[in-house]
Amino acid sequence: MAQQSHAAQVDAVIVGAGFSGLYMLHRLRGLGFTTRVFEAADGVGGTWYWNRYPGARCDSESHYYCYSFSDEIRKEWKWSCRYPAQPEILEYLNFVADRLDLKKDIEFGTRVTAGYFDEAAHGWRIETDRGETVHARFLITGVGNTSTPANPTLPGIEKFAGKIYHTGLWPHEKVDFTGQRVGLIGTGSSGIQSTPLIAAEADHLTVFQRTANYSVPARNHELTDDMRREQLEKFEELRRLTLASPIGMSFEPAQVSALEITPEERKAKLDALWDVGGFRFMFTSFNDIVLDRQANAVVADYITAKIRDKVRDPAVADVLCDFNHPVGTKRPPIDTDYYETFNRDNVDIVSIRADPIREVTADGLTLESGAHYRLDAIVCATGFDTVTGSLIKMNLHGKGGQALAEKWKYGPQAYLGLCTSGFPNLFMVTGPGSPAILTNFPVCIEQNVDWIAKLMERMRDIGFNEVEALPDAEAEWVKDIVEAADKTLFPTVDSWYMNSNLPDKPRVFTAYFSGMNTYAEICDDIARNNYKGFDLRTHARAEVA
């Protein structure tokens, strides 16, 4: 594939070629900025490139989990179903990249290993694992929030004679579990999606559950031509709903408290939404699920009863319903036949909260009680070094050589989730403190990218060559996030939202909670007010050696 000339000096380096990087490249190209795009994978797709585990599927509905910026792309692409599987989303992103001829400007198989803000040159010096150094006025990261897989630290894991997989780093070739005894650790979205498929193939599957999760049926279905036509015809109306939504999805959010209607009305509402399935159950039922323990208990009790209905063995249902957190305070999973899978003869579940893993042996796992599980393969669905992991790993240094890892030692500090003070000309698409992780990602990505592109255009028009978040504005933004989170149930639980899914991370809420719609208004207002909270300035250009 012919690629653009590898200029050592460009306007912008973009890191990542997933939803964020692809659109950022398209926008900057349209504005005439020169770019280099580095992508560690051998293809586009980001999260959808790496997460190839059985059952990997989007939990957001296809007609809004996609780009909105191009009428042509929207009209030419046909989604097959309500929640497309990973191969289809990867195909979509390849389609977009080909349609916009983006691939020729992306350097695949190339990882950014370090970045230094050069105060004399007013730009970034970026190093890659191919030994190259590139200078860019702007550094823009589109590295995702769940892109650095986290493996569990289990004593003896190096002794295991079988294969160990991580859902977020799944092999490209088909993994065949036929005839095998498989152990799966982790019951977040990835574990819940992969369990039914692995169970259907393996000789035996044991799910090792540390935290019981509340899953709601997805109710996936194929899309007919009529359904697709209706989605296209109603695009403007659905888009308006999406943009007005706190979570970037094209349905009205819940308006009613669980506590202001009768038990009969609650049940009728939840029954109807259980049949609709997916995120609509959580997000269109009651407006106080993550705000009020009593309201939360209404929904938690409802889901618990549904699980007990589905699972035949009460002892197995006890483990699956052994909840220790309010529903919705960890990212809500949705599933296809997750609980039903535990009715199979070849599947069992073990609580490793009650009986933790003591060690891995050559032929399996041993728990503290001495119980031993003979395994041929272990699947780690144990999540990621979320939100900050991939940013910190890039080894970025701002003014005075300050490392991002050092600056964020006590938690990520970023203004609007887009910029961090002390690191001029660094933009983070869906960075910490943006609403991204609580929303439908493509909506936040498009808004972030458009906002960054407009700021860069304005700087060019006016002749500014540096932009930096002001420390006070950043501190205020972070304080507001913490205060908003403190009014919710999120801080009562360890989760990746709370940055506390791994032991050595600072425990702090990492998302703007007040909604994607409000966030977009604030960003627009800041832009209208001459980028309030940012220092925009001109320095004499120093030549790069």
Which residues contact ligand NAP (rule: CB under 6 A)?
A: 57-59, 146, 152, 167, 185-191, 193, 210-211, 331, 352, 381-384, 496, 501
Please say which residue, 128 or 146, places its beta carbon nearer to ligand NAP: 146
Q: How far is the CB of 346 from ligand NAP (least distance, A)?
A: 21
How far apart (Å, rounded) are the C-alpha atoms in residues 187 and 40? 28
Q: Least distance from C-beta 168 to ligand NAP, angstroms?
A: 6
CB of 386 to ligand NAP, least distance (A): 7
- Shorter beta-carbon distance to ligand NAP: residue 473 or 516: 516
> What is residue 113's three-state secondary structure?
strand
**Sign of CA pseudo-dihedral 270, 275, 281, 285:** negative
The nearer residue to ligand NAP, 146 or 148, going by C-beta atoms, is 146
Nearer to ligand NAP, 189 or 517 (CB): 189
| Nearest distance, CB of residue 57 and ligand NAP, angstroms | 5
Say which residue the tokens 């560690």 belong to: 40
Angle at 188 between CA 183 and CA 194, to 5 degrees: 50
Token reading at 519:
């966030």
Report in angstroms how near the CB of residue 319 gets to ligand NAP at its nearest.
13
- Tokens representing 321 are 């319903």
End-to-end CA distance of the chain: 30
Distance separating alpha carbons of residues 452 and 14, to the nearest angstrom: 12
Task: Pick between residue 138 and residue 170 the one whose CB is nearest to ligand NAP.
Answer: 170
Which residue's beta carbon is nearest to the bound ligand NAP? 188
Instruction: Give every strand in the sheet of 357-361, ordered side by side.
Output: 357-361, 364-367, 372-374
Q: How does DSSP assign 253-276, residue by residue?
A: PP-S-TTSS-HHHHHHHHHHHHHH
* 33 vs 384 by CB, closer to ligand NAP: 384
CB nearer to ligand NAP: give 157 or 536: 157
Instruction: Give the shortest CB-44-to-ligand NAP separation in angstroms.
Output: 18
Distance separating alpha carbons of residues 505 and 481, to the nearest angstrom: 18
Report CA Rg, the chain.
24
Supply the minimum distance, in Å, between the C-beta of residue 210 and ligand NAP.
4
**Nearby residues of 417 by Cβ (< 8 Å), 6 or more positions away:** 428, 430, 431, 432, 433, 434, 435, 436, 448, 512
CB of 175 to ligand NAP, least distance (A): 17
What residues form DSSP beta bridges with 397?
A: 116, 403
CB-wise, 390 or 425, nearer to ligand NAP? 390
